[in-house]
Amino acid sequence: MDCQKIIDRVYAEVKAGENLGQVAAYIPELSKIDPDRFGICLTSIDGRQYRAGDAEEPFSIQSIAKVLSLSLAFACIGEPIWKRVDVEPSGTAFNSLLQLESENGIPRNPLINAGAIVVCDILCGYFREPKKELINFIRRAANQPDIDYAADIAASEKSTGYRNFALINYLKSFGNIHNDIDQVIDLYFNLCSIKMNCVELSHTFLFLANNGVQLESGETLLDSSRTKRINAIMQTCGFYDEAGEFAYRVGLPGKSGVGGGITAILPNEYAIAVWSPRLNKKGNSYRGMKFLERFTTETESSIF
């Protein structure tokens, strides 16, 4: 199978089609993005890469980074993490407060905003310098020492992050935030600010396609059992209230972000990153969803 040829063809077909949706303008810095950018990179577990379009243009990965903070927290404390956050699909918007009342402050899963805030609280309780430890973990996964938080994006998110402030205070009222609110929410906003390009992002997520092992260093970032569980959570919860649609159309574990990125993995084969900033009504990249649906159909490379 000529992977580059397939990527080039599908990329051209999707780019020639309509590009619906809007950028995430509620975060001021994200409103400045060129809405017609479009990039792809696939990295295989034997180190080969296939690219198309704006694959080397950095963008804010936003909620995609929640998988990485979850991986670190799960590696650190193991199964007790699930006493603080559940593993069920939410069926509601990523920033919803609805379920916290009826479920006693336990977020439905760690990839919605409330769940990711609890994961940040776990990291704040485990590490003396959680921001430093988290970015170091991400750099090791990426094999890229220059990846960092983007202060301008973090500040932009904080300036309009009223719902996230509401979430953390509501979680605190149920006793599910153990550390200082300001420290936890600062870690959360910085987590979501991280910038990568498609090449870096696909490479970063490759450990989840490789039984938790980083390709170049051979470091086990996450044991194989926990890797399986992270992938399962991505499959069922990675796209908020569109997770079922993504599973139906694409058939890979993955995670989206409102910066327009999507990353997905095929266990024991590859990780792929797609970026196109226009979002559909569920907050997922319009072109990214279309590209991945066509790509997995043509390559017959879903998990199903």
C-alpha separations of 135 from 26, 228, 267 in Å: 25, 23, 24
Integer Cα distance of 119 and 77 in angstroms: 11
Q: Which one of 3.30.1280.10, 3.40.710.10, 3.40.190.10, 1.10.3720.10 gives the CATH number of domain 3-299?
A: 3.40.710.10
169: annotated binding-site residue? Answer: no
Q: Where are the domains of the chain?
A: 3-299
The pLDDT-based confidence of 228 (bands split at 50, 70, 90) is very high
What residues act catalytically? 63, 66, 188, 240, 258
Return the percentage of the chain with pLDDT > 90, whole number.
92
113: annotated binding-site residue? Answer: yes
Task: Look at residue 97 in the predicted model and tell me its pLDDT.
Answer: 83
Integer Cα distance of 119 and 117 in angstroms: 5
Integer Cα distance of 141 and 212 in angstroms: 10
143: annotated binding-site residue? Answer: no
The pLDDT-based confidence of 96 (bands split at 50, 70, 90) is confident
63: annotated binding-site residue? Answer: yes
Type and span of the H or E element at 137: helix 130-142
Task: Specify the long-range contacts of residues 123-126, CB closer than 8 Å, at least 24 apart.
Answer: 123/69, 123/72, 123/73, 123/76, 123/187, 124/179, 124/180, 124/183, 124/184, 124/187, 125/178, 125/179, 126/73, 126/76, 126/77
240: annotated binding-site residue? Answer: yes
**Partners of 39 in the β-ladder:** 53, 275
Q: Is 223 helix (H, G, I), strand (E, B) or coil?
A: coil
Task: Specify the long-range contacts of residues 88-95, CB closer than 8 Å, at least 24 apart.
Answer: 88/236, 88/237, 89/236, 89/237, 89/243, 89/244, 90/237, 90/240, 90/241, 91/241, 92/240, 92/241, 93/240, 93/241, 93/283, 94/63, 94/240, 94/283, 95/163, 95/164, 95/167
pTM for the whole structure: 0.96
Higher pLDDT, 272 or 99: 272
**Cα–Cα nearest to 152, from 41, 66, 33, 49:** 33
- Averaged over 151-161, what is the pLDDT? 93
254-256 and 49-53 beta bridge pairing: unpaired
Tell me the pLDDT tens digit for each residue of 252-286: 999 999 999 999 999 999 999 999 999 999 999 99
Mean pLDDT of the chain: 96
126: annotated binding-site residue? Answer: no
